[in-house]
Amino acid sequence: MKPKLLVRYGAVPEVSRFTHELSAVPVRNDRVVVLTHRGVEIGTVLEALRSQPTWETSAGGNSADDADEATAPTVLRRATPADEIRHIELSREAQQSFGEWQARISDWKIELELVDLEWTLDRQKLVLYVLGGRGPETTKLALQAAAAGLAVIEVQPIDANGPIPLPAAGGCGTGGCGCHESDHDS
């Protein structure tokens, strides 16, 4: 089982467990480059997680986490000064385009409020943070951006508690697919 770190990342912060193969374990507040569900991002180490005791492994000798380790978020490396400079430059670029994205959202008549945006460190994806839940408006924004030939974007809905996670699978009518059970009662 690979060692894990608790890392905070993103303009609207998310915290997740990341596996790593670094020779020296990073300590709190060290900056690292991580591979997340969105792509390559820069993050801040919150803590090194202790290894799971062997008595907590399954009968087959593998912990429940081992099955997911291949797809788990990963620390790629410690952040270099060049990574930090790139992060600052991309943050500046994203903030300069904030007004343009607000205008697009308005022109496309999408009922979402843009709160923040950021590029992944490899500049492969632009993350748009919007107020509200997941639904047709977030999908419409992603489709409009693609149709306009703009950057690959990810629309990340947020609320007062931070990013709104994808709902658990469960199928239509259960509330798990993003719908509300009450929507189907009428």
Mean of the pLDDT values across residues 165-186?
Answer: 50
22-37: pLDDT as tens digits: 999 999 999 999 999 9
Distance CA 180, CA 18 (A): 32
48-68: pLDDT as tens digits: 988 655 444 444 445 545 546
Q: Where are the domains of the chain?
A: 4-79, 87-163
Residue type, 142: A
Reading phi first (left if > 0) and then psi (alpha if -120 to 50, else beta), residue 162 is in left
Weakest-pLDDT range from 33-42, 109-118, 173-182? 173-182
73-120: pLDDT as tens digits: 999 999 999 999 999 999 999 999 999 999 999 999 999 999 999 999
DSSP-assigned letter for residue 169? P
Q: Is the CATH number of domain 87-163 3.30.300? A: yes
- Give the residue ranges of DSSP H helices in 23-135: 64-68, 81-96, 98-107
Q: For residue 166, what are its two tokens?
A: 């994808």
Please say if the pLDDT value at position 42 is more than 80: yes
